[in-house]
Amino acid sequence: MTAPAASRVRVYWMPGCTSCLRTKEFLTQQGVDYESINAQNNPEAQAELKRLGARGMPVVAMGDRFTLCQSFGDVLKFLGLTARLADPLPPEDMFRKIDLVLTAAARYTRQFPPDKLGVQFRDRERSVGDTSFHTFRVVEMGLQAAERQGMDYEGFADLAPPDWTFEQIAAWGEQVRDRMLAWWDCQTDRELKYAVETYYGNRALHDVLDRVTYHCAQHTRQLMLMLESFGIAPDQPLTADDLKGVPVPQASWG
């Protein structure tokens, strides 16, 4: 394989990936010219990511250097950009959004017909049921980080038990929501500035939960999109006003 040009910015991504879409939109907004590489079912791209030592996506790379894109601060530093990033929501507002979003995600999950559980949506190798489960699992991983259990990338690949129905996924998701809110209610440190361990380094918990919030919100938007594609109107659809302050991508899919 020919070595990539050292000055060419490359973005490795996969369809339906929240951080991938957000990264591409961000770089476009910053006027960065980049090579867009869909690494799903792309052996050459996957081999290149392995050669770089990158675990997970999205990845921004130049030559033999790369950065994960879980924090735009890392992306700015890597590319030498000076843009100012928006401040995350205050923790109190963040947890209100998580409550709103997971309540909606459970509501939408219950709307899917049983025969859609294993159906893959568009060009992503993830079923409707897996997307629903993942929406809640993202928040559970945030809770585990908050409880100082760390956050490993492998957790994003976790799946529901194979015999679970949409109803069971939704009920479990509501339990995740309640556990997260109960944890917040017990906190005396309301600023959440302490560092926690994640697969992309030690980060302030507030920043980690900011990412968790927009991650689960984006997948909930995708659940609405899936329902609509099946001819089902989402029950009480989330609006732009509902998600005000949550840095979701502009598009629901990409």
pLDDT, tens digit, 9 for 90 and up, residues 190-206: 999 999 999 999 999 99
Ordered domains of the chain (ranges, CATH)? 9-79 (3.40.30.10), 91-229 (1.20.120.450)
Q: Measure the CA–CA gap between 84 and 217, rounded to whole angstroms.
A: 23
- Share the mean pLDDT of the chain: 93
Q: Measure the CA–CA gap between 141 and 200, rounded to whole angstroms.
A: 14
Q: Where does the pLDDT of residue 175 fall: very low under 50, low under 70, confident under 90, or very high at 90 and above?
A: very high
pLDDT reported for residue 59: 94
Q: Check: CB of residue 152 under 8 Å from CB of residue 43.
A: no
Q: Where does the pLDDT of residue 4 fall: very low under 50, low under 70, confident under 90, or very high at 90 and above?
A: low
Q: Where does the pLDDT of residue 5 fall: very low under 50, low under 70, confident under 90, or very high at 90 and above?
A: low
Q: Measure the CA–CA gap between 175 and 171, rounded to whole angstroms.
A: 6
pLDDT reported for residue 88: 92
Strand, coil or helix: 155: helix
pLDDT reported for residue 33: 94
pLDDT reported for residue 1: 41
Query: For 28-83, what is each residue's pLDDT tens digit?
Result: 999 999 999 999 999 999 999 999 999 888 999 999 999 998 888 899 999 998 88
Query: For 113-125, what is each residue's pLDDT tens digit?
Result: 999 999 999 989 8
Q: Check: CB of residue 55 under 8 Å from CB of residue 153.
A: yes
Least confident of 13-27, 137-151, 158-172: 13-27
96 has pLDDT over 90: yes
Q: Where does the pLDDT of residue 3 fall: very low under 50, low under 70, confident under 90, or very high at 90 and above?
A: very low
* Burial class of residue 230, CB neighbours in 10 A (0-12, 13-18, 19+): middle
Q: Where does the pLDDT of residue 254 fall: very low under 50, low under 70, confident under 90, or very high at 90 and above?
A: confident
